[in-house]
Amino acid sequence: MSRYTKATDVLMQGERHRVWSLVVTIFGDLAQNKGDEISAQALSRLTEQIGIKSEALRVALHRLRKDGWLESKRLGRSSSYYLTDFGLAQSASASPRIYGLTNPIRSEWALITTPNTTEGREGDAAKLESDNRVIRLGAQVFLGEENNLPKIKRALLTRIGADPLPDWVRDQIIGPELKASYNDLLLQLQKIEKTLPENASPIERAVLRTLIVHSWRRILLRHPDIPNGFYPRSCKAIECRDTVCELLKELSRPSLVDLSTV
Amino acid sequence: MSRYTKATDVLMQGERHRVWSLVVTIFGDLAQNKGDEISAQALSRLTEQIGIKSEALRVALHRLRKDGWLESKRLGRSSSYYLTDFGLAQSASASPRIYGLTNPIRSEWALITTPNTTEGREGDAAKLESDNRVIRLGAQVFLGEENNLPKIKRALLTRIGADPLPDWVRDQIIGPELKASYNDLLLQLQKIEKTLPENASPIERAVLRTLIVHSWRRILLRHPDIPNGFYPRSCKAIECRDTVCELLKELSRPSLVDLSTV
């Protein structure tokens, strides 16, 4: 078994990657600039190595075009795909979180307290409960970024200070399941670090990058972006980020030309 | 009916003044300095005008001595009473709130959020529920002065900013009953302003001062001292404070010598 196969095995272990979402990861990683396109052939080869059937890829591409993420174009007998302006914008907005080594500078965080009466809660609390930008700390208490809050009318806003957050707050921000996902991912990433092939081909690098970025972003995007001090002490999210960044540096991004001509 | 009688009538209307507490008010108002004493005779005359029976006064004085608030001393056939060091300290600590025209400079206010789990709440929330320095805004949310908080272990503290507090928070700080008390008191004080006797005797001034200060402090001390912006918009607490101060200026404090020799 080659080092490359070992690495992909680790990353695909027990995972059910949704093809639609995986294709988004591929384009986000390899073709995020306007004008970038991936040939149908390269896409097939890449997804095949991840264990995706050609029929499943076809369905995913159809759906992504229908949903406005992708466009395709033909050139003689071959075709290629590229992100639409909408797709480019979506990818660009997620990129800083996925690829950034540190959080970009953010606004302050605020505690949002809503009235404790049933009538008073209706509006604000209901809105906050269903908004994925904020984190719920209790029936009437939420946490959010000051510059990125849903419009709320009656809530009391107080600013999170420089003191470390109490453990129960961190455990509420990143629940036990999410924490376990981070900690499992770190173990996987560390295994990959050890089995990384020395001279990976462009397609091998693309496959490994896709699997790493995909596993990482699937966990990452389940919660709002938060300062490092908001993670539970025993959560390995920061270590995951560091390791992802190191691995991606090691597995340098293949050029689209290399990918299509192999 | 003299203007004086009218004024005392207004203040005693529908009120059940606890004698013990009223005597504390008298000493706090008239004899708050070390060395000050009120003769038994002056005390009888003063309380008699408020409608207190001599037997009730005797019981109250006995209890206040037993509880360490008052001491008495004899001089020939007459006796006098004075605040103990404990009583002086208690009076001195309440005075700024009762007599101050504006709040003294205070520390910042903080929102205190406790864990929302039953186990987590046990310690902190239970402590906060029973501490009269903090104000409850909900099952896991309290409001308190940063420099004057009970010792809490796991709570999240966030600072109240300069923005006006939402109305529901103010209504929680000063509930409907307390607000009604303030607003009723303002009406009474305004009636007194109109019926104030022009040349009140020392004993009359003492009686009116006692009734005013007593009514005021009974409401005031039911909640922690708060910045002006924390009162509900329709609560007349600030107007009460202003009117109390004006009335007490008008009804200048009689000297203890004048009181005892009338």
B160 phi/psi in degrees, rounded to 5: -70, 125
> Does residue A139 belong to the interface with chain B, where contact is any CB pair within 8 Å?
yes
> Does residue A162 belong to the interface with chain B, where contact is any CB pair within 8 Å?
no
For chain A, positions 164-193, list CB contacts with chain B under 8 A: 165-169, 172
> Are A166 and B154 inside 8 Å of each other by CB?
yes
pLDDT at B104 over 70: no
Residue B2's pLDDT band, with cuts at 50, 70 and 90, is confident
CA A142, CA B20: separation in Å to the nearest integer?
Answer: 47
| pLDDT value, residue A201 | 92
> Are B137 and A113 inside 8 Å of each other by CB?
yes
* Higher-confidence position of A104 and A254: A254
> Are B156 and A138 inside 8 Å of each other by CB?
no
For testing the chain A interface, which of B108, B109, B114, B116 should be mutated: the one with the most A CBs within 10 Å?
A: B116
**Looking at residues A147-153, what average pLDDT do you find?**
86
> Are B139 and A137 inside 8 Å of each other by CB?
no
With contacts defined as CB-CB under 8 Å, which chain A residues touch B158? 110-111, 158-161
Chain A residue at shortest CA distance from B116: A138
* Higher-confidence position of B207 and B102: B207
> Are A165 and B159 inside 8 Å of each other by CB?
no
**Looking at residues A171-192, what average pLDDT do you find?**
95
| pLDDT value, residue B181 | 96
| pLDDT value, residue A101 | 79
Residue A117's pLDDT band, with cuts at 50, 70 and 90, is low
Tens digits of per-residue pLDDT, B180-221?
A: 999 999 999 999 999 888 889 999 999 999 999 999 999 999
Question: Which residues are CB-neighbours of A141 under 8 A, at least 6 positions away?
Answer: A111, A112, A113, A114, B113, B116, B140, B141
> Does residue B221 belong to the interface with chain A, where contact is any CB pair within 8 Å?
no
The strand order across the sheet containing B109-113 reads A135-138, A141-145, A109-113, A156-160, B156-160, B109-113, B141-145, B135-138
CA A231, CA A165: separation in Å to the nearest integer?
Answer: 9
Tens digits of per-residue pLDDT, A12-29?
A: 776 666 899 999 999 999
Chain A residue at shortest CA distance from B172: A115
Question: Which residues are CB-neighbours of A134 under 8 A, at least 6 positions away?
Answer: A112, A128, A142, A143, A144, A149, A150, A224
With contacts defined as CB-CB under 8 Å, which chain B residues touch A111? 111, 113, 156, 158
| pLDDT value, residue B139 | 86
Among B115, B158, B168, select the one facing A159 at the smallest CB separation: B158
| pLDDT value, residue B77 | 86
Tens digits of per-residue pLDDT, B105-133?
A: 567 899 999 987 665 456 777 788 888 88
> Are B166 and A159 inside 8 Å of each other by CB?
no
> What is chain B's mean pLDDT, rounded?
90
CA A45, CA A259: separation in Å to the nearest integer?
Answer: 9
> Does residue A155 belong to the interface with chain B, where contact is any CB pair within 8 Å?
yes
| pLDDT value, residue B251 | 95
Tens digits of per-residue pLDDT, B60-89?
A: 999 999 999 999 999 888 899 999 999 999
**Looking at residues B122-145, what average pLDDT do you find?**
86
> Does residue A118 belong to the interface with chain B, where contact is any CB pair within 8 Å?
no
Q: Amino acid identity, residue B44?
A: S
Q: What percent of chain A has pLDDT over 70?
A: 94
Tens digits of per-residue pLDDT, A126-140?
A: 788 888 889 999 888
| pLDDT value, residue A122 | 62
* Higher-confidence position of A8 and A1: A8
| pLDDT value, residue B107 | 78
| pLDDT value, residue B204 | 93
> Are B115 and A168 inside 8 Å of each other by CB?
yes
- Nearest-Å Rg of the Cα atoms of chain A is 21
Q: What is the 3-state secondary structure (H, E, C) of A22-35?
A: HHHHHHHHHCCCCC
**Looking at residues B43-66, what average pLDDT do you find?**
94
Residue A47's pLDDT band, with cuts at 50, 70 and 90, is very high
CA B145, CA B151: separation in Å to the nearest integer?
Answer: 12
With contacts defined as CB-CB under 8 Å, which chain A residues touch B110? 158
Q: pTM (2 decimals)?
A: 0.80
- Hey, CA dihedral for B227, B228, B231, B236, is it positive or negative? positive
